[in-house]
Structure 1
Amino acid sequence: MYQNTPSALLHVFVLQKQLLEKNAEIEDFCAALGIIYEPVVIGEKAFEDAPSTDRYPETIYYRLLAHEYLPQDLDRILYLDADILCLNDICPLYEMELGASLYVAASHGSDDNMTDLVNKMRLQNFEAESYYNSGVLLMNLTEIRREVKRDAILDYIAQNSFKLFLPDQDVLNALYGHLTIQIPDELYNYDARYNVLYYARSKGEWDLDWVIENTVFLHFCGRDKPWLTEYHGRYAALYKHYQHRSRKVGR
């Protein structure tokens, strides 16, 4: 992101249950790049009643109530999952008009919308335009502070826990999907697992060169992550390139 958004001063907030063990290293890394870093410690008990598993720990709920912990003078913020690689300038997304919408997000549904239909039936949110992936969220904090309430979220979880497959993502879609602006996933939330499907959807246009030139966020969804030695996905070399560059920071 630092390399591909050179015109912006980056201010990074990292939501964390406890202060990270490598907090000092993160501070030094960001300082070397001129990035402002602020740890936001949530604490142990904030989401102890929310459903969670080893794969989906309670920390995934932080994005739903981030507005309670972030500085009140912020009017918007871009949330990113940790398994995302930034390939191009984020400013066109970050600066887009939000109106009264709460979120801006992309859907990983196929062209036939079958995935969207299944999820809408499951969550009964037919007024939403799509089923959104919560890995990339432009958040309209001004409106979110008015509309998003902790009690409503926890009540929904308590009443619907049996049908929540991806808990925080399901909650976001069920309660606030109709207040979300949809953006194209091939640009802002490209699922690295499905390059063959993207290639087919675009009739051969969205190849590797196109992704490097146009895609802003490459999302390594699922269990296979590019920092693991056994990962051999199509975009492994891209990740390793930026990983190599990051290791040189401060040297």
Structure 2
Amino acid sequence: MKTASFRSIAEGLNGRPLAEPLLEAAMQRYSRPRPIAPEVTIAFGLDTTYLPHAAVVLASLIANAPGAKLRFLIVHDGISPQARSTFERCAKGHRFDWLEIKASSVLAMPGKRHISRAGYYRLMLAELAPPDIDRVLYLDADLVVMGDIRELYASDLGEHAIGAVCDVGMDGEAFAERFQLQPKRLGYFNSGVLLMDLTKLRASDDLSKVITVLETRIDDMEYGDQCALNVVFWSRWKQLDILWNVQRRMLMPQEGKPCYATAAEMKKGRRPKIIHFTEHNKPWSTDGWHPLIWTYYRYLKKTPYRAQVLKLGKVHFLKDLRRKIKTVVNWYRLQA
């Protein structure tokens, strides 16, 4: 195929990459839910490195929740005023609370595998969040929101303090055996999307217990505080709709890594409400690829960090083109 033909594929209709409308049409099988909550409080645990990627999360959730009133809690270890100002430009008209950790044992904890130390900062939310906030939705910085976040925020947690989605890449029964817990299939949750009842968490010492587990058994925590959270909250969390945390292994079985949920449990073929770029291969990595990587770059365009991220990932025209073609081919193969 000649270069001109490749270019026509890349440019598509009206200058928009052809891969995007094709994939978007394939995903748009279900209508978006109606707005529910009048205000949504979203929390992040961030350091300066992850600000560009969290900005993509902001851009995506705002675009898919038109008219929503949002409040962002940013738990951090010392982000400069200038960096804060740039980040806030991604969500003009919404409120920001910058909650700096100044004295906590989490500051001394090392990262784990591909997990940044900033991931531990969510453990401080019950302590640092303003007292008028009784519910918060914590989000990792490596995801894209495709549904109306107000639906998720309004989820009923019942008697539980946290709501989450199972981690399909972890054998819950093996994890339970390792830590002398009651065996439960799909009993291990992914902590990248956590709906937290701060009233219940403030009334308990559960998050303090998580920190203690990290301090005393960090070498046993394969995925850092995610494992510690699962030890403490085992069988005490609410299962949320799995479409609110669609993980890499749900979409990429060809990688040969185990997936412990069935196709029916993962709601295969349904439109993801949150795409979570789990594991080490991120969209901004130099070798980054994912069937839905185009969603990350779509919303990156709405942030002031686009040039910075493209340089970081060494993204050029031909590399971007190859990704788009690979995305189209693999998306329809996965849907077959």
Query: Shorter-chain TM-score category?
Result: 0.7 to 0.9
SS of equivalent residue, structure 2 residue 99: strand
SS of equivalent residue, structure 1 residue 120: helix
Partner of 1:233: 290
**Cα distance per residue 1:219-248 (max 9 Å; x no partner):** 001111112343232111121112123359
2:153 equivalent among 87, 94, 102? 94
Partner of 2:176: 120
Counterpart-to-counterpart distance in 1, 2:139 and 2:117: 17
Alpha-carbon offset, residue 119 of structure 1: 1.1
SS of equivalent residue, structure 1 residue 64: helix
Partner of 1:30: 91
Alpha-carbon offset, residue 15 of structure 1: 1.1
Counterpart-to-counterpart distance in 1, 2:266 and 2:213: 42
Kept in 2, the 8 Å contact 1:51–1:167? The answer is: no
1:61 equivalent among 120, 124, 129? 120
Match for 2:288: what amino acid? Y
Kept in 2, the 8 Å contact 1:132–1:177? The answer is: no
Alpha-carbon offset, residue 106 of structure 1: 0.5
Counterpart-to-counterpart distance in 2, 1:150 and 1:244: 37
Q: Identity, % of aligned pairs?
A: 25
Kept in 1, the 8 Å contact 2:246–2:275? The answer is: yes
Partner of 2:201: 144
Counterpart-to-counterpart distance in 1, 2:252 and 2:206: 40
In the superposition, relative to structure 1, how do residues 109 and 53 fare at CA in structure 2: closer, same or farther (>3 Å)?
closer
Q: Which residues of 2 match residues 1-251 of structure 1 at below 5 A?
A: 1-20=61-80, 22-31=83-92, 34-43=93-102, 45-50=104-109, 52-53=111-112, 55-109=114-168, 115-126=171-182, 130-149=187-206, 151-185=208-242, 187-197=243-253, 201-202=263-264, 206-207=268-269, 210-211=270-271, 215-247=272-304
Kept in 2, the 8 Å contact 1:15–1:39? The answer is: yes
Alpha-carbon offset, residue 147 of structure 1: 1.4
SS of equivalent residue, structure 1 residue 201: coil
In the superposition, relative to structure 1, how do residues 203 and 168 fare at CA in structure 2: closer, same or farther (>3 Å)?
closer
Match for 2:276: what amino acid? H
Larger Rg: 2
Alpha-carbon offset, residue 178 of structure 1: 2.5
Q: CA RMSD in A?
A: 3.0
Counterpart-to-counterpart distance in 2, 1:30 and 1:50: 31
Unaligned 5+ runs, structure 2? 1-60, 254-258, 306-336
Matched residue count: 238
